[in-house]
Amino acid sequence: MTPTPGLLEVDVLVIGAGMAGAMAALAARDAGATVAVASRAPGATALSSGAVGVAPDPTASPDEPLAWLRAPVEAARRLAARRPDHPYAAVGVAGLWRLGEALRFAARQLEPLLAPPLERPRLLATPAGNAVRAALCQRSMDAGDLLAVRGPLLVCGFAGHLAFDAALVAAGLARYTPRGGPEVGDAEVALPFDDPAARPHELARALEPPGAAERLGEALRIPAGALGAGAILLPPVLGLDPAARVPERIAAAAGMPVAETLSDVPSVPGLRLHAALEARLRVAGVARVTGEAAGAPAPGRAVEIGGTVVRAETWILASGRFVGGGIARRGALVEPALGLPVQAAEGREAGVHLARRPAASLTVRDRRAPQPLLSAGLRVDAALRPVDDRGRPVHPRLLAAGAVIGGHEQATDGSGLGVAILTGFLAGRAAARRGA
C-alpha cells in the first residue's frame, strides 16, 4: 500500500537546495510568493570553501599591489565583457547591475553566519597557501583578510592534524608580503584534547564545548607572543555550529584576532553554509520536500517528488552541475530532472550537438585550457529561461539558476557561488512577479 501523497499548491517550485535554489526561494518568498523547495541531498554548496567567490579579475596583473583589488561587481563586469557565454553575460547588463543588491540580500539572509560585505573583496588564504578574493565570507574567516591584518600573521597548525600544513600555508602567503600582505610566521600547537587524528568535522565539534576553545586560545599565546603576531590563522575547523562562537572564544583567550582559512573537501565551512541555508528556509516559511524530481512535466502541471505532489505556476531549476546532479553523464550529457537540452563548450563551437557527443570526448589535453565538459550546462536567455537548440525559451514560466546554467567552470573559475547568488536572486524575484 502506498501512502496517499500530500498535495502542495504554491506559487513557485524550486528544484535544488544549494546556494542557487535557496537564494531563489528566499528572494521569491521575500517578495511575497509562496514557495516550495525540493531537493535530493546537499550539493556543491556544501563542499565549497565556505566563502563566496564572485569573479577573478581578468585584467589584474600578477604583481600589482594587493590594495588595487577591484570591487567584486566591477570584476564581474569585466569577466562578462570577455566571456560572452558566462552567466554574468547571459543575464545582460541590467541583470548584472543587480549583483550588488543580490550579494547584500544574501548577506542579510545569512546574517549570523556571514560577515557584512565590504566595497572591496576580502583576500583570504586557502589551505594550499594561495590568497583568493571573496565577495562574502563567514565571520570565522574575516580576521584572516590579508588586507586587514595588522602586524605579522601567525599561521598555526595542530600537532597530528595532517590535513593542514602551517609551514606550507605560511610559505605561500609570504609571496604576497612584497605586494602589501602581512609578514607571515608559522607554528604548531597541541590540541586541548587527545585526538588529533579526528576528521575535520570531529575536530570542529570537539572545539565547541565550554573550555576547549579557551584552552586552545591560551596555548596560542606562546607562539603568537614569540612572533609578535597581530592575528592568528588556523585550520578551517573552528566549530560546526556558529552559535558555539568558537573563533570568538579562541580570540578572547588568545588576546588577538583569530581566523580560519578557506577549506578543501571535506569542508566544515561548507557544512556550515549548507546548515545556515536550510535553517533560513525554515524560518522564512518555505515548504521543504525531500526527493528527486525525474522526468518532471512542465510548470503548471502537478509533479510528484518524494511522495509529495506539488503544483506551481512557476518552476526554478537550481539543480547544480555534476556534483549536485543537475547535469549527468550518461554516455552523453543529460539534464535528468526535466530532460532539457544541454549545451557544451564556450565560444564559436558551442552548441547542443557537442553535448550529444560522448562526455569523455569533451575534455582537452592542455589542463590550463578551458574544458568544454566542465562548463557544460543549460543555456538561458536574459530572463534566465532555459532555451532549446534554436535559442527559444523551452517554457515561459520555467527558469534556471546556479551551476545548472553552463558557460562557466563553476568549481574552479572563482565565480561559482557568486553566479548562484545572482541568478538565484534574479530568478526568485522574477518568479514572484509572475506569481502575483
Partner 1 sequence: MTFGAMAYLAYRAIVAHPLKRLLRQRGTGEARFRAAYETEGLAPTTEADRAIGLEAQACIACGLCETGCALAAADPAIRALGLHAAFRLYGRNPAELPLAAGALEACAGCTGCEALCPTGVPITRVVGALARRAHGARPGSPREPSPSPAARDP
Give the residues lining the site for partner 1 (CB under 8 A). Answer: 40-44, 46-47, 197-201, 265-266, 271, 290, 323-325
**Contact of residue 197 among ligand FAD, partner 1, none (CB under 5-8 Å per partner type):** partner 1
Q: Which does 308 bind (CB under 5 to 8 A by kind): ligand FAD, partner 1, none?
A: none
**8-state DSSP, 373:** T
Residue 19 near which of ligand FAD, partner 1, none (CB within 5-8 Å, type-dependent): ligand FAD
Q: In 3D, which of 102, 1, 112 has the Cα closest to residue 52?
A: 102
Interface with ligand FAD, residue 121, by CB under 6 A: no
Q: Please tell me whether residue 53 binds ligand FAD under the rule CB under 6 A.
A: yes
Q: Judged by CB under 6 A, which of 10, 13, 14, 18 binds ligand FAD?
A: 18
Quick check: 44 binds ligand FAD (CB under 6 A)? yes
User: Which single residue is written with the C-alpha cell 524575484?
Assistant: 429
In angstroms, the CA 253 to CA 109 distance is 30
| Cβ-based nearer residue to ligand FAD, 187 or 323 | 323
CB of 242 to ligand FAD, least distance (A): 18
Q: Is 39 in the site for ligand FAD (CB under 6 A)?
A: yes
Among 10, 15, 124, 125, binds ligand FAD (CB under 6 A): 15
Q: What residue 199 binds from partner 1, ligand FAD, none (CB within 5 to 8 A, per partner kind)?
A: partner 1
290 binds, among partner 1, ligand FAD, none (CB under 5 to 8 A by kind): partner 1
Between the CA atoms of 205, 210, 213 and 214, what dihedral angle is there, to the nearest 10 degrees? -170
Which of 249, 274 has the CB closer to ligand FAD? 274
x/- track of binding to ligand FAD for residues 319-358 (CB under 6 A):
xx--xxxx---------xx---------------------
Is 30 a binding residue for ligand FAD by CB under 6 A? The answer is no
3-state secondary structure (DSSP) of residue 430: helix
In the complex, least distance from residue 413 CB atom to ligand FAD, rounded to whole angstroms: 9
Q: Supply the minimum distance, in Å, between the C-beta of residue 59 and ligand FAD.
A: 20
Of residues 36 and 216, the one with the C-beta less far from ligand FAD: 36
Separation of CA 418 from chain center: 7
C-alpha pair distances (Å), 45 with each of 22, 277, 315, 377, 408: 10, 10, 21, 17, 16
3-class secondary structure, 259: strand
- The three cell numbers locating residue 204: 570542529
Grid cell, residue 216, equals 586552545
Distance from C-alpha of 418 to C-alpha of 409, rounded to nearest angstrom: 12
**Contact partner, 201, from partner 1, ligand FAD, none, Cβ < 5-8 Å per class:** partner 1
Kindly report the number of other CB atoms within 10 A of residue 48's CB atom: 26
Instruction: Using the rule CB under 6 A, give the single segment among 35-43, 80-88, 137-145, 204-212 that binds ligand FAD.
Output: 35-43
Burial code (b: 16+ CB inside 10 Å, e: under 16) for 79-113 equals bbeebebbbbbbbeeebbebbbebbebbbebbeeb
d(CA 356, CA 111): 43
Return d(Cα 25, Cα 40) in angstroms, integer: 16
Write out the three cell numbers for 11.
506559487
277: left (phi over 0), alpha (psi -120 to 50) or beta: alpha
Residue closer to ligand FAD (CB basis): 256 or 371: 371
Distance CA 113, CA 106 (A): 11
Cβ nearer to ligand FAD, comparing 89 with 417: 417
* Residues making contact with ligand FAD (CB under 6 A): 15-21, 38-41, 43-45, 47-49, 51-53, 265, 292-294, 318-320, 323-326, 336-337, 402-403, 410-411, 416-418, 420
